[in-house]
Amino acid sequence: MRFFDTDEYEGFWGSFGDIIWWFLWAFVFVAYLFVLFAIISDLFRDRKLSGWWKAVWILFLIFLPFLTALVYLIARGAGMGERAAKEAQTVRAAQDAYIKSVAAPASPADEIAKAKALLDAGTITQAEYDAIKAKALA
């Protein structure tokens, strides 16, 4: 009895062709998941489509997934690109605004005004206010 007899050992590693087919089907499945999540995110990104139509698309994606994904990509594919570009532009603008607000050095007057507001609210003590004021003026 041979240890690795091909007649007895037929499993996942049994033939190179089986491995290639397995990787091909794994790739197709992952690509399908990417398409499915892109469609679902586009559905919820679309402000013009009513909630009922979104529910109908989701139901069809559950019960007829491949056909519905194909129809959705054909019927609404151009809009998907436009909505994705608009969303990316909105995110970019918000990110730029955040970076400017964080990176811009506050003027000493702004820091003292913030510290005074904290002092008036009772959040910090007079000593802490004086330390912040001295640091801002330095």
Are residues 70 and 19 part of one domain?
yes
Of 138, 115, 134, 135, which is closest to residue 125 (Cα–Cα)? 115
CB-CB contact of 79 with 38 (8 Å): no
Report if residue 89 sits inside a domain: no
Number of domains in the chain: 2
pTM above 0.85, yes or no: no
- Among candidate residues 25, 57, 76, the one where a domain is terminated: 76
Which DSSP symbol is given to 105? Answer: P
Residue span of the structural domain in which 112 resides = 106-138
For tokens 């690509």, name the residue.
Answer: 31
pLDDT tens per residue across all 138 residues of the chain: 455 555 555 666 667 788 888 899 999 999 999 999 999 999 998 888 899 999 999 999 999 999 999 999 999 988 898 999 999 999 999 999 888 878 766 778 888 888 899 999 888 999 999 998 888 887
